[in-house]
Amino acid sequence: MNPKVILLVEDNVSDIELTKRALSKAHIANELIVAEDGQEALDYLMGAGKYAGRDIHQIPALTLLDLMLPKIGGFEVLRHIRATEHTRRMPVVILTSSNEEQDVAAGYDLGTNSYIRKPVSFTQFAEAIQHLGMYWLVMNEPPPPPIP
């Protein structure tokens, strides 16, 4: 596992910039990989498409996953992550504006580690990112890699 990489799966340019600002404000200097749709996220994780040849065993320390994505939706991305040997233990936090109870339930049913609704203000969002970073990148003991 590469402890330095955060994978942000987000199609909204404003939310991408907001996340970058929040990470910077929280002094989280980890490398940020941005996938702007579900297919790009899966290509990154599976070493396909423009990421062909990437070492797929270097999985992100944290994946922030939006639900409403073009090409392949967030739930399908999560389903694929959990069904794939080398990514099934990877920490995935759903970070979305959806406040639908069925989305929360579906996220947990599919194996998300956490479900966070995007706060409306930058201050709240920055605090949420800081707490996420502190927990997932500093305090959390990452899962061991799968045995080949």
In the predicted model, is pLDDT for residue 12 greater than 80? Answer: yes
Distance separating alpha carbons of residues 135 and 95, to the nearest angstrom: 15
Q: Any bridge partners for residue 35, and if so which?
A: 9
**Euclidean distance between the first and the last CA atom of the chain, given in angstroms as a whole number:** 14
The whole-angstrom distance between residue 125's C-alpha and the CA centroid of its chain comes to 15
Rg (CA), the chain: 14
Distance separating alpha carbons of residues 136 and 148, to the nearest angstrom: 25
CB 56 within 8 A of CB 45: yes
Which of the pair, 142 or 73, is modelled with greater confidence?
A: 73
In the predicted model, is pLDDT for residue 27 greater than 80? Answer: yes
Render pLDDT for 103-135 as a digit per residue (tens, 0 to 9): 999 999 999 999 988 876 778 888 888 888 878
Grade residue 3 by pLDDT with cuts at 50, 70 and 90: low
Length of the chain: 148
Eight-state DSSP code of residue 137: I
Give the pLDDT of residue 28: 87
Distance separating alpha carbons of residues 58 and 72, to the nearest angstrom: 22
Render pLDDT for 34-63 as a digit per residue (tens, 0 to 9): 999 999 999 999 999 999 999 998 999 999
Distance separating alpha carbons of residues 119 and 125, to the nearest angstrom: 5
Domain boundaries, the chain: 5-137
Residue type, 41: A
In the predicted model, is pLDDT for residue 1 greater than 50? Answer: no
Give the pLDDT of residue 148: 61
CB atoms within 10 A of CB 104: 16
- 5-137: which CATH architecture? 3-Layer(aba) Sandwich (3.40)
Q: Any bridge partners for residue 95, and if so which?
A: 116
Render pLDDT for 60-116 as a digit per residue (tens, 0 to 9): 999 999 999 999 999 999 999 999 999 999 999 999 988 899 999 999 999 999 998
